[in-house]
Amino acid sequence: MSIEKQTTSILSKAIKRYATLNDVSVKDSQLMICTDNPDCTPSYKVLKHYKEVKSVTFNEILDVRLDFLGREILATPFIRSSIKRLTQEANCSYDEASVLIYPIDEVGEKIRLHFFVGTKPNKEISMEYIFGDM
C-alpha cells in the first residue's frame, strides 16, 4: 500500500474514532494540522463542528502508544516541507497556515485536505501534494 493510501486510511480511522469519542456524526468530526514554529514542525488538533476540541500527538492519531513502524518519523519531514511550500505559495506566515482534514461522505472513508490561511480557505490539496517529494 502506498504511503498516500496508508495515510488516508489512518486519518479516516482517526476522524471516525474521534467522532465516536466526541459523540458526533462522522461528518462533524475533523482533524487539523498546524504549526507554531518557524521550522514548521506539525502539530495536530481534533475538531468537532469545525471548532477545536483538543490538541493530540501523532501517536494519538495513530491510536498507538509507541509507533514501532516509525510512521511519524517518515511523515513529519513531508508534512513540514508541505507547510513551508504552502506558506511560500500563499505568501503567509507559518502561524497563519493550517490544513483541515475532513470527511466527504457519511461513513468517513473518503477525506479531503484543505489549506487555510488564518480562517480563510486557500486551496484544496492532495496527499500527492504532501508526499510528492518522495
pLDDT, one tens digit per residue, over 92-129 is 999 999 999 999 988 878 999 999 999 999 999 998 88
Q: What is the pLDDT of residue 67?
A: 73
Mean pLDDT of 2-17: 88
pLDDT given for residue 133 in this prediction: 61
The residue segments making up the domain with residue 63 are: 3-131
For the cut 70, the answer to whether the pLDDT of residue 134 exceeds it is: no
> Residue 107 has what pLDDT?
80
Looking at per-residue confidence, does 24 or 65 come out higher? 24
Instruction: Cell numbers for 41, please give them.
Output: 514542525
Q: How many domains does the chain have?
A: 1
Average pLDDT on 25-29 reads 96
- 111-117, strands of its sheet edge to edge: 51-56, 42-48, 29-35, 97-103, 111-117, 120-125
**pLDDT reported for residue 1:** 60
pLDDT per residue over 32-67, tens digit each?
A: 999 999 999 999 999 999 999 999 999 999 988 887
| Other beta carbons within 10 Å of 107 | 10
Predicted confidence band at 20 (pLDDT cuts at 50, 70, 90)? very high
Q: Is 73 left (phi over 0), alpha (psi -120 to 50) or beta?
A: alpha
